[in-house]
Structure 1
Amino acid sequence: MKCPYCNHPDTRVIDSRPADDGNSIRRRRSCDVCGKRFTTYEKVETIPLIIIKKDNNREQYNRGKIETGILRACYKRPVSAAEIQKCIDRVETKIFSLEEKEIPSSTIGEIVMDELKKLDEVAYVRFASVYREFKDVNTFMDEIKKILDRGNA
């Protein structure tokens, strides 16, 4: 592993342990040249997952896009970074447990909304308003009424 500080090609592993998500290994490394330490994560390489977009274009799965969407939905909400990461991990686990090579983006959107509904209702409504492309205030209010009705049931 190349050192991110001095670009020396050889580094030593000081410590290895399972990462918090249980799906990767966290390694502490040290550079023999500059002496700096850094952390790397090792994940099992999976079959590339292809996402079928609304316009039928296809692109490779990108965890960063899910992360960006959830972070935007949770902006200025009382949700910790750890809770957000766990939410993203759950979404990703559900996606890969489908064991499909190609998945429609609509399926991923529904999985994200299910997880956001459990995490924070305001974040859920924010995400849904963009994802479902609410055209007017009435559509937005219908979604909020569903949440309120569920809470009263």
Structure 2
Amino acid sequence: MDQVTEFNRLFEQSRLVLASMRGTAATSGADEAAEPLRAAGTAAEGQVEVVLVGQRVESVRLDPRVLRAGAELLGEYVAQAVNAALDDLRHQAGQAGAEPAALDPAALGETLGQLQDQSVRSMSAMSQALTDVVQRIQEGGR
């Protein structure tokens, strides 16, 4: 097997590994989507707690002592706890989304394919040029 063919084979093997990674990434992304993020927020020194799952309120817990604060203040505490839970949810979503965005397997695969094509053409041209030089040297030596 000549060097150009071996080089092309290695590139093709790399592209297949990358394609399998893309399939794995798509599958793991679907698994993550099946389990929504869970976030919590508190207010009034922990007397009001709100738990979110995905973008829905799962529970609101009120310490009985906070009920003495009055309806208006209680409403503010609940709003603060919900906003804190939403901030937590956004923070988690940002962390979960940051890593995959850093590596785009499709773009990497396309770039790798272009590099493979260009490299094989260049190596073929260099190989042919070296073959021509060797042939000229051998013909000149006779």
TM bracket (short chain): under 0.3
Structure 2 length normalisation: TM-score? Answer: 0.20
The one of the two structures with greater contact order (alpha-carbon pairs below 8 A, sep at least 6) is 2
Larger radius of gyration: 2
Structure 1 length normalisation: TM-score? Answer: 0.19
Higher strand residue share: 1
